[in-house]
Amino acid sequence: MGHSHSHNHSHSHSDFKGRNLLISIALNIVITAAQVIGGLLSGSLALLSDALHNFSDVISLVVSYIASKLSQQKASIHRTFGYKRAEILAAFINASTLVIVAVLLIIEAVKRFKNPEEIESTLVIWLSFIAIIGNGASVLLLKKDANSNLNMRSAYLHLLTDMMASVAVLIGGLLMKYYQLFWVDSVLTFLIALYLIWVGYDLLKKSTKILMLFTPEQINVKELVRVVNQLPEVSKLHHVHVWCLNDDELHLEAHLDLKENITITEFDKVLHDIESLLHDTFEINHVTIQPEFNKADSKDVIVQD
């Protein structure tokens, strides 16, 4: 069996990422406490809904922080992959909470729209402004890592949507203060919830596909097999599995039917060529190949194990 992998880890970068998460957690705890108190005093559902979303942010950030730390743990006899999938699981949990919170907000928004209440808009305006600053700072802290890490993206989206929600609450507060449009509080809450469902569903779908070991969307398995089969020593690549272990590792496992009964040394050269080809063309960085010659097994590209 041929086996190869290549991936780099930076502990300093992970520590920097963890520090940014801790700062964001602290900021959101302060914002959540202020909004709960302000929402109860002012009677603003939008402010309370923003506080609820901020509280879900705190939970999601804590989950992301724990997952980030676990993912750095080394593999062992009982955990041969270590905790590399912890961050994907965290992304799945965080995406789920986004959708659940959104549904709860919609229910409350409909109830309040039917029975609008007068709201202390001045308090709403000031607290939403503070939340925008706090969440904006957290968004900037996590933005860079959100582009390359699904776990960090889930935390980033929580904070980004909460910043947008705070902007909506601020606009609502101004409309209520100067135009007495108290029903706008419920409408804004409803719109915030719809946006949460939209971004939450997309993240939930991506994390589910990774957890279910689905073939990554960017990989065309038929094209991959065609390219490998063009190598002179190869008869057919078959029994193919392609999956993401986490954000950094893209795996391929397959059987390789060879044209001749070559030696192990000769196979090592073929394996090296395949590894280079898959890495350069498909960005696959972890390859496991089972070599075969005249073996009586299924030569289908996809075989149900």
Sheet of 286-292: strand order equals: 2-5, 286-292, 250-258, 234-244
Query: Does residue 301 belong to any structural domain of this protein?
Result: no
Total structural domains within the chain = 2
On whether residue 303 sits in a domain, the answer given is no
**What is the Cα–Cα distance from 184 to 180, expressed in whole angstroms?**
9
Whether residue 115 lies inside any domain: the answer is yes
d(CA 148, CA 132): 25
Helix or strand (DSSP H, E) at 164: helix 150-179
Count of CB atoms situated within 10 Å of the CB of 161: 23
The reply to whether 169 and 72 lie within a common domain is yes
71 and 83 in contact (C-beta within 8 Å)?
A: yes
Shared-domain flag, residues 226 and 193: no
Tens-digit pLDDT string for the chain (305 aa): 555 544 444 455 566 678 888 988 998 898 888 888 888 887 777 677 767 767 877 888 898 889 988 888 888 999 998 998 998 999 899 889 888 878 887 887 787 787 776 667 788 788 888 889 988 998 998 888 888 788 888 888 878 877 887 787 788 888 888 887 778 777 887 887 888 888 889 889 999 999 999 999 999 999 999 999 999 999 999 999 999 998 889 999 999 999 999 999 999 999 999 999 999 999 999 999 999 999 988 999 999 87
Do residues 194 and 99 both lie within one domain? yes
Q: Which of 155, 183, 211 marks a domain boundary?
A: 211
Residue 305 placed within a domain: no
Q: Which residues contact 81 (CB under 8 A, 6 or more apart)?
A: 75, 245
Residue 276 within any structural domain of the chain: yes
Task: Please check whether residue 235 lies inside any domain of the structure.
Answer: yes
Task: Name the pairing type of β-strands 286-292 and 250-258.
Answer: parallel
Same domain, 170 and 273: no
Are residues 48 and 194 part of one domain? yes
- Tell me, yes or no, whether 236 and 175 share the same domain: no
CATH number at residue 228: 3.30.70.1350
Looking up residue 162, the CATH number of its domain turns out to be 1.20.1510.10
Domain around 232: 221-292
Looking at the structure, tell me whether residues 180 and 227 fall in a common domain: no
Q: Does residue 283 share a domain with residue 183?
A: no
